[in-house]
Chain A
Amino acid sequence: MIMHKNPYEYIDTEVLKISRETANIKTFVLRPVAPIPFRAGQFMDISIPGVGEAPFTPSSNHNISDKLDFTIMSAGRVTKLLHALSVGDMIGLRGPYGTAYPIDGWKGKEIFIVGGGVGLAPLRALLYALFNNVKDYKSILVKYGSRTSKDIIYKNEIESWKKAGNVDVEITVDVGDETWKGNVGIVTTIVKNPGFDMNTAVGVVCGPPIMMKFVTFKLFDLGFKPNNIYLSMEKNMSCGIGKCGHCRIGPYYACKDGPVFTYDKLKDLPNIWE
Chain B
Amino acid sequence: MQKSVYSITKNDLFDLFSRLARDNRIFVPYEYKDRFLFGEFDPVKEAAIQLGGIRQTQPLKSFLNPAREKILGEGSDGSKPVIVAGVKQCDLSSLVLQDFVFLKGDEEDPFYAFHRKNTTIISSDCTFAKETCFCMAMAGRPYPSKEFDINLSQLDGFFLAEIGTDKGLAIIKDYKTFFKNARERELNERDRIRENVSLQISNFIEKRNTPDAAGIKGSVKRQYDNLAMWQDFASTCVECGACNLVCPTCHCFLLFDGRSKQKTGRLREWDACLYKTFAVVAGGANPRKHLYERLRNRFDKKFAFFPEVLGYTACTGCGRCIEACPGDIDLREVLKALVSGSWNKPPHD
Residues of B within 8 A of A5 (CB): 110
CA distance A73 to B71 in the complex (A): 28
Q: A238-B254, A245-B251 are in contact. Are A2 and B109 (CB under 8 A)?
A: no
Instruction: Among B76, B257, B259, find the residue whose CB has the most chain A CB atoms closer than 10 A.
Output: B257
Interchain CB contact under 8 A, B106 and A3: no
Interchain CB contact under 8 A, A7 and B109: yes
Instruction: Among B79, B102, B285, find the residue whose CB has the most chain A CB atoms closer than 10 A.
Output: B285
Residues of A within 8 A of B268 (CB): 8, 244
CA distance A183 to B201 in the complex (A): 69
Residues of A within 8 A of B305 (CB): 248, 250-251
Residues 4-59 of A contacting B (Cβ, < 8 Å): 4-10, 49-54
- The 8 A CB mask of A261-273 against B (1 = contact, 0 = none) is 0000000001100
- Cβ of A39 to closest chain B Cβ, rounded Å: 15
Interchain CB contact under 8 A, A242 and B106: yes
Interchain CB contact under 8 A, B280 and A236: yes
Say yes or no for B157: interface residue by CB 8 A criterion.
no
Interchain CB contact under 8 A, A1 and B252: no
Interchain CB contact under 8 A, A241 and B105: yes
Say yes or no for B281: interface residue by CB 8 A criterion.
yes
Q: A7-B109, A245-B273, A251-B308 are in contact. Are A2 and B79 (CB under 8 A)?
A: yes
Residues 156-188 of A contacting B (Cβ, < 8 Å): none
Q: A6-B71, A7-B107, A244-B255 are in contact. Are A234 and B114 (CB under 8 A)?
A: no
Q: A1-B76, A4-B113 are in contact. Are A244 and B283 (CB under 8 A)?
A: no
Interchain CB contact under 8 A, B279 and A235: yes
Task: Of the listed stretches A61-69, A74-82, A105-113, A147-155, name the one at the interface; the rest are far from the partner chain.
Answer: A74-82
Q: A3-B113, A3-B114, A8-B71 are in contact. Are A241 and B107 (CB under 8 A)?
A: yes
Number of chain A interface residues as a range = 35 or more
CA distance A238 to B79 in the complex (A): 27
* A-B interface contact total, Cβ < 8 Å: 111
- The 8 A CB mask of B222-237 against A (1 = contact, 0 = none) is 0011000000000000
Say yes or no for A209: interface residue by CB 8 A criterion.
yes
Residues of B within 8 A of A246 (CB): 252, 271, 278-279
Closest to B273 in A: A245
Closest to A242 in B: B105
Residues of A within 8 A of B72 (CB): 6, 8-10
Interchain CB contact under 8 A, B105 and A256: yes
- The 8 A CB mask of B105-119 against A (1 = contact, 0 = none) is 111111101100000
Residues of A within 8 A of B105 (CB): 241-243, 256
Residues of A within 8 A of B110 (CB): 3-7
Residues of B within 8 A of A239 (CB): 253, 255
Residues of B within 8 A of A241 (CB): 105-107, 109
Say yes or no for A274: interface residue by CB 8 A criterion.
yes
Q: A3-B111, A235-B279, A241-B105 are in contact. Are A8 and B252 (CB under 8 A)?
A: no
Residues of A within 8 A of B114 (CB): 1-3
CA distance A53 to B282 in the complex (A): 11
Interchain CB contact under 8 A, B106 and A256: yes
Say yes or no for B175: interface residue by CB 8 A criterion.
no
Number of B positions contacting A (CB below 8 A): 48
Partner of B224, one of A245, A248, A270: A270
Interchain CB contact under 8 A, A271 and B107: no
Instruction: Among B77, B109, B282, find the residue whose CB has the most chain A CB atoms closer than 10 A.
Output: B282
Residues of A within 8 A of B271 (CB): 244-246
CA distance A52 to B287 in the complex (A): 22
Closest to A80 in B: B282
Closest to A79 in B: B282
Say yes or no for B264: interface residue by CB 8 A criterion.
yes
- The 8 A CB mask of B251-275 against A (1 = contact, 0 = none) is 1111111010000101010010100
Partner of B282, one of A76, A242, A244, A245: A76
CA distance A209 to B283 in the complex (A): 12
Closest to A52 in B: B257
Interchain CB contact under 8 A, A248 and B301: yes
Q: A1-B114, A6-B71, A244-B253 are in contact. Are A209 and B264 (CB under 8 A)?
A: no
Residues of A within 8 A of B113 (CB): 3-4
Say yes or no for B101: interface residue by CB 8 A criterion.
yes
Residues 77-95 of A contacting B (Cβ, < 8 Å): 77-79
Residues 216-248 of A contacting B (Cβ, < 8 Å): 234-236, 238-239, 241-248
Partner of A244, one of B106, B254, B286, B293: B254
Closest to A48 in B: B257
Interchain CB contact under 8 A, B108 and A244: no
Residues of A within 8 A of B266 (CB): 8
Interchain CB contact under 8 A, A235 and B281: yes
Say yes or no for B44: interface residue by CB 8 A criterion.
no
Interchain CB contact under 8 A, A75 and B273: no
CA distance A6 to B69 in the complex (A): 14
Interchain CB contact under 8 A, B282 and A54: yes
CA distance A7 to B107 in the complex (A): 7
Residues of B within 8 A of A9 (CB): 72
Residues of A within 8 A of B287 (CB): 235, 271, 274
Say yes or no for B214: interface residue by CB 8 A criterion.
no
Between A and B, 6 residue pairs with Cβ closer than 8 Å are A7-B110, A51-B257, A79-B282, A244-B271, A245-B251, A246-B278
Given contacts A5-B110, A246-B271, 18 further A-B contacts (CB under 8 A): A1-B77, A4-B108, A6-B72, A6-B110, A50-B264, A51-B257, A52-B255, A209-B285, A241-B105, A241-B109, A243-B105, A244-B252, A245-B271, A245-B273, A246-B252, A270-B225, A274-B285, A274-B286
